[in-house]
Structure 1
């Protein structure tokens, strides 16, 4: 496949989370397998090549052209040189869903992608096979990809992409997100789109604090970090330091200091993931660090709470010590049980039904247990709060085990082509 990006007016579009729209298009193309054979970028006459902040983008087969010719003439040249090879036409003044290039490359028929907003002219054009219908419309000298795409759809020459032709389920986010495509024509529009992307990158099923309490703080952190091009792995490393440093604080009885570190870590745990997805900087090492921390630190926190509350003097045979051992064992069992469902269905347990998605918002997890223990400790009921958390972890483990047995053995739902169930709103409003 050949890709042509019309970037003559790219400088008029402000960046989104620190990345130019051209860089965002290139990141979307970076995920194609195989890579395009050519990526031709048209710049305005006399314009120098823009600096690409990510070295991985330079591994793409980039070809820079400079031209002052009309749009129709430039596309006509690309069509002539492409021959019968599929051609993807992009505009560097549009914000496009990074999933669209792969979805279009898999198609065998020419397709137009239009913006979901009726008044937004943004468009993408994918040409496969015969180009006669496009050549015919070029005679009318359309001035942009958007104008050409609209003419092709209105004339019936090329159909537009339908919702049921695009698989929008995002496994890592546990939700379905329809594709997006927007024109970016000013700073105000860019600010709205940053909000749109920010909320689109929240998981469909998550805990109440992550969904409703932490987002304002995450938003304040993500925007400047993205503009400064801070890699999310640095945020993850700070998060790891805070998570581990809180443990000796609690164990030694410095609970307030430990709480401050723990809540800082909890916010940063959302920041690094959002930053990685919004700036295309997610990495294998980052995922291992982030998810590894999420798996390991909660039981260590619980043990340090119990130790600071009195195990140091009462011993592990005391009710407090037995409670600490119980919650550690229950946590491990719970995590093992939750590995069974994804092994069968290739998606997260809490996407199975709306009920499971709802339960995810308040089950025994760090962001639920931490506030419960914080409140209990501050009002003088630290031990009672700890035993409540032990009981809640037991209930959570029982629910996951029972539900997994029901799904796999009673429902007989081992159909791998079963569509994921929606656990959250499908769309995020732009305004």
Structure 2
């Protein structure tokens, strides 16, 4: 995960024509009111400014502009609501009747919504479409690969922990591996809060993680597997933290994108190679032919799976792991870094790291077959004239 994972592309009932129209007529963003209560180490006004900047939206500006997004600073809302309302002029998001965020297009609507926000009272919507934040309906977030219910809550000191948790949870991918989904969340939330309050940037977290990744590789190479696993564990948690920190604090950069994604893409094969080499000093060396076969299988399987995932996105416009329920469940255990580390850990527990790396090679090839079959199945379905859509949509 990375700082550049931040951009939210909300895909639900928004059609391509509506989305194109919204992007060509960007509204100005107008903060209404004031709120000193900090969230993720920043004021509500600063958080709104960052959200607007991240989407290229002008803040305040032309008071007579036709379209405006009015944001009530008494509330904190999920960044996913911005693109959602941008695509829906004449819509207002409310919480217990009080307007939180509104996309208005006429002076009369603007005046009526601003008056309700300033009075902290219920809104007479008139012709505006109303979305109640407390309603059960959700939206599908393609960037995070999940159906979600974005939050919009009153920002008061007592509510900050719950709002930060909702913000953090909202930044979590719904379809990911089992460690990221079930083991990391609480650890990463604690570290993310600490970093936000200390002013530590996502890129600084990525830098620390990169150093730990290199140290873990060296430890594996020399057969210091337990030390390497401990260091790698910290790196893997930080690999989750940097992306969550970026989304929660609304910070992102091209450098963070290239850096973090580059580390994520490049380091796994080096870990597997180092682990296989480290079996010799550990005392359970692989044979020459076994070493070559394991590394060849893992390198080929790793690259081929990435290519299949890219081909699926290019052909069908979505991740292969969100097509059907099976694909989302298989993503929990597919041969990516974190599930592979579980296998290596199991091998080390029985003092046979060589068995662990062989098992990872076998699982990598098995996962490759599953991905290849799913790609061909999707192509067959498409040729039959049926749309390929996510089961989460």
TM-score band, normalised by shorter chain: 0.7 to 0.9
Partner of 1:219: 189
Partner of 1:332: 303
2:223/2:280 contact within 8 Å kept? no
Partner of 2:332: 361
Change (3 A) 1:299 1:212: same
Distance in 2, matches of 1:137 and 1:345, equals 40
Query: Following superposition of structure 1 onto structure 2, how do residues 204-283 of structure 1 map, counting pairs within 5 Å?
Result: 204-283=174-253
Shift of 1:356: 0.3
What secondary structure sits across from 2:131 in the alignment?
A: coil
Match of 1:191 among 161, 171, 179: 161
Report which of the two structures shows the higher radius of gyration computed on alpha carbons: 1
Query: Following superposition of structure 1 onto structure 2, how do residues 106-255 of structure 1 map, counting pairs within 5 Å?
Result: 106-108=87-89, 110-115=90-95, 118=96, 121=98, 123-129=100-106, 131=108, 144=118, 146-147=120-121, 150-153=122-125, 156-161=126-131, 168-185=139-156, 187-255=157-225
Query: Following superposition of structure 1 onto structure 2, how do residues 11-50 of structure 1 map, counting pairs within 5 Å?
Result: 11=36, 14-33=37-56, 35-36=57-58, 39=60
Partner of 2:73: 92
Cα deviation, 1:346-385, whole Å, max 9, x if unaligned, reads 2211011111000000111111111221221132222222
What secondary structure sits across from 2:129 in the alignment?
A: coil
1:113/1:161 contact within 8 Å kept? yes
2:31 counterpart of 1:5: yes
Q: TM-score, normalised by structure 2?
A: 0.83
Partner of 1:66: none
What secondary structure sits across from 1:160 in the alignment?
A: strand
1:122/1:181 contact within 8 Å kept? no
2:94/2:131 contact within 8 Å kept? yes
Distance in 1, matches of 2:113 and 2:314, equals 50
Change (3 A) 1:84 1:236: closer
Cα deviation, 1:299-327, whole Å, max 9, x if unaligned, reads 11111111111399968733233222222
Shift of 1:157: 4.3
Shift of 1:220: 1.7
Partner of 1:387: 358
1:173/1:203 contact within 8 Å kept? yes
2:205/2:241 contact within 8 Å kept? yes
Change (3 A) 1:299 1:160: same
Cα deviation, 1:140-192, whole Å, max 9, x if unaligned, reads x7572642xx3313xx443313899x99433331113234321112x221111
Change (3 A) 1:415 1:291: farther
Shift of 1:31: 3.6
Shift of 1:413: 7.5
2:274 counterpart of 1:299: no
Q: Could you tell me which runs of 5 or more consecutive residues in structure 1 were left unpaired when the two chains were aligned.
A: 40-60, 62-80, 424-431
Shift of 1:257: 1.7
Shift of 1:2: 4.3
Cα deviation, 1:378-416, whole Å, max 9, x if unaligned, reads 322222222111111111011001111110134438878
Change (3 A) 1:316 1:376: closer
Distance in 2, matches of 1:170 and 1:246, equals 34
Distance in 2, matches of 1:216 and 1:312, equals 34
Change (3 A) 1:336 1:94: same
What secondary structure sits across from 1:144 in the alignment?
A: helix
